[in-house]
Amino acid sequence: MVTLTEIPEGWPADEAGALAVQDELRGRVVLDEPGPPPGTGLVTGVDVAYDDERDVVAAAAVVLDAATLEVVAESTAVGRVAFPYVPGLLAFREIPTVLAALDALSTGPGLVVCDGYGLAHPRRFGLASHLGVLTGLPVIGVAKNPFTFAYEQPGTERGAASPLVAGPGEEVGRALRTQAGIKPVFVSVGHRVSLDNACAHVLSLTPRYRLPESTRRADALCREALRTALRPVQHPVA
């Protein structure tokens, strides 16, 4: 069964409204907790896929055992796209549907890993921070691109890292090499996790591929959920 997630009442209708929300929520981010220890407990990947033509977004949450990387639980949700794509306002596009997917899980999510950024954001309040503040969960962001931020190329070996900086002396995240000789990923803190711990989690989630297993699983699942949701219902014929 597929239910269409509602866009919450009071959801910002334009850029000015969204900026005001970020401004208000930014102060609630918690940055002084280390977060759950890497390699233990549960880790949940979240991701979304879009059909902009039909204004539909599908979200998936996949819970992994952090020690074995085996799937413990998963869920999906489908909704209307809640906001246009504006760099810096990505969270407003996907958060309602992501929250619905997290709510549908049969277990607590543990640490949440999302696509995109937390602190590494024009106003230091990216998707991972936003999701963290709304749920109270520990959240980190893992992005495939450095956005507008600068970094020095980390060493070529797996585990090598270098600061992702917004300006002289302001570290907003880390470029982390998860596979030897492969383009790094860009890790930033969302809520209630330290940057060191966030990077340790990401390394523990990348035994084989560039991107965390959590995101890879969530990516595959939300694409499938989108295909299913867009497939026209089959009426039985007599």
Q: Report if residue 112 touches DNA, rule: CB under 7 A.
A: no
Is there a contact between 133 and 22 (Cβ–Cβ < 8 Å)? Answer: no
Q: CB of 40: closest distance to DNA in angstroms? A: 27
Among 50, 69, 71, 160, the residue binding DNA under the rule CB under 7 A is 50
Stated as kind and residue range, the H or E segment containing 217 is helix 213-230
Q: CB of 143: closest distance to DNA in angstroms? A: 4
User: For DNA, which stretch binds (CB under 7 A), given 28-36, 42-50, 99-107, 164-172?
Assistant: 42-50
Q: Closest CB to DNA among 65 and 163?
A: 163
Residues 139-168 close enough to bind DNA by CB under 7 A: 141, 143-145, 147-148
Q: CB of 35: closest distance to DNA in angstroms? A: 19
Does residue 118 come out as left (phi exceeding 0), alpha (psi in the -120 to 50 range) or beta?
alpha
Which tokens in the block code for residue 77? 């949700």
Distance CA 201, CA 203 (A): 5
Instruction: Provide the b/e sequence for 25-60 (b: ≥16 CB within 10 Å).
Output: beeebbeeeebbebeeebbbbbbbbbeeeeebbbbb
Binding mask 198-227 for DNA (x = CB under 7 A): -------------------------x--x-
Among 99, 100, 117, 176, the residue binding DNA under the rule CB under 7 A is 117
Q: Report if residue 78 touches DNA, rule: CB under 7 A.
A: no
Answer yes or no: is 55 a known binding residue. Answer: no
The site for DNA, by CB under 7 A, has a size of 25
Using DSSP's 3-state secondary structure scheme, residue 25 falls into helix
Q: Note the Cα 95 to chain centre separation in Å.
A: 10
- Count CB-CB contacts under 10 A for residue 153: 11
Among 43, 49, 95, 166, the residue binding DNA under the rule CB under 7 A is 49
- Binding residues for DNA, rule: CB under 7 A, are 47-50, 52, 85, 87-91, 115-117, 121, 126-127, 141, 143-145, 147-148, 223, 226
